[in-house]
Structure 1
Amino acid sequence: MRYIEIEKERIPYEFEMEFDGEIYQFEILYNSYGDYFTINLYHNHEPVIIGEKIVLHQPLFDGFEHLDIPMFIVIPYDTTESALRITYENLNEDVFLYVLDKAN
């Protein structure tokens, strides 16, 4: 199982991932006032989903199958099973964004 490596010290930043032979761009943002992260999804550098809040144990981009999104699921999962929410301190330390193929 793979996960998306988040480089918190680089936020805000963009990176690319390939799904089903297509390249998608992701932008990670952090709201220090509310202590939460959001993610933007682009395809061919065109916005698809903007401002998706990253919530513990909630699949990202859920319910947007009608849009131009890849066939995958990203689930923020706490490996310690003790976190109540995602924070700057626990993201990519205990909480990781796991990528699952929707076909599975």
Structure 2
Amino acid sequence: MAETSVTLTRHDGTIVAHSGDVIKDLDIYVNSGAGIEVNGVQNVTISNVRIHYNGAGNKSDDLGNKPINMGIRAVNAAGLKIDQVEIINAGAPASGAELS
């Protein structure tokens, strides 16, 4: 069976999910924080998504939670479904550990 190509739609900035959301066919670019935030909501589906985030200099949030820069941040997210997702750390060093 031939694989069909789907065009991803560019989205700049974090997507904050709500209960029952279907987040699909997106190319997400985020400079700070998570590409998709799934916090305290249920039954969210993330499908056919590519996320570019900047993990360089990853810091804690105001509550001391670390890291805050990531592809998907899911907390208390019952029923979360993730399928066909690519996450790219655009701030990663070419090789080895990140230098401070």
What TM-score bracket applies, with the shorter chain setting the length? under 0.3
| Larger CA Rg, structure 1 vs 2 | 2
- Compute the TM-score of the two structures, normalised by the length of structure 1: 0.27
